Amino acid sequence: MDVNNIKVFENTSFVQECFELDKKIFLDNYSLQMINDDSLKELFFLKKDEELIGFIYLHGDDFEKEIYKIGIIREYQGKGLGKYFLEEVIKLSKTSRLLLEVNSTNKNAIKLYESCNFKKYYIRKKYYSDGNDAILMELKLGELL
């Protein structure tokens, strides 16, 4: 993976940009108002040349943050950029613990999170409307030091 033209940056005021990327990547979108009203949000973006190609939406404080969403535009998926992006955001996150929830059928996402040292700590059985389980994962950042 060539990351020469790839940049990771944080910009909490890029609410509209986050919303637009969310619409491009996912079928179920957060509302613009919800993102805008979240006073504990952190928005990170992945940029190739001048194009925004991914985002990570965190919510929380110095002790604990949750990854609400992570997404990369389809044409850039499967190239190692998700791992690179997540690793960079972990370094920038300034928290003791990162949490996330993932659908048990999303094997690629689970593999990505495990490759970044996230550990499963709880399963919510039949959590989603389709009957799939939700896997809760955490990364204790002190373990990486």
What 3 state SS string does 59-89 have?
Answer: EECCCEEEEEEEEECHHHCCCCHHHHHHHHH
Residue 59 domain-assigned?
A: yes
CB atoms within 10 A of CB 106: 13
Residue 1 domain flag: no
Cross-strand bridge partners of residue 127: none
Evaluate whether residue 113 is within a structural domain: yes
Domain holding 72: CATH number?
3.40.630.30
Q: What is the pLDDT of residue 39?
A: 85
| CA 38 – CA 53 distance, rounded (Å) | 22
Domain that holds residue 127: 6-144
Domains held by the chain: number: 1
pLDDT value of residue 5: 66
pLDDT, one tens digit for every residue, the chain (145 residues):
555 666 776 777 777 787 787 777 776 766 777 787 888 888 999 988 888 888 899 999 889 999 998 989 999 888 899 999 999 999 998 899 999 999 999 999 999 999 999 999 999 999 999 999 999 999 999 644 3
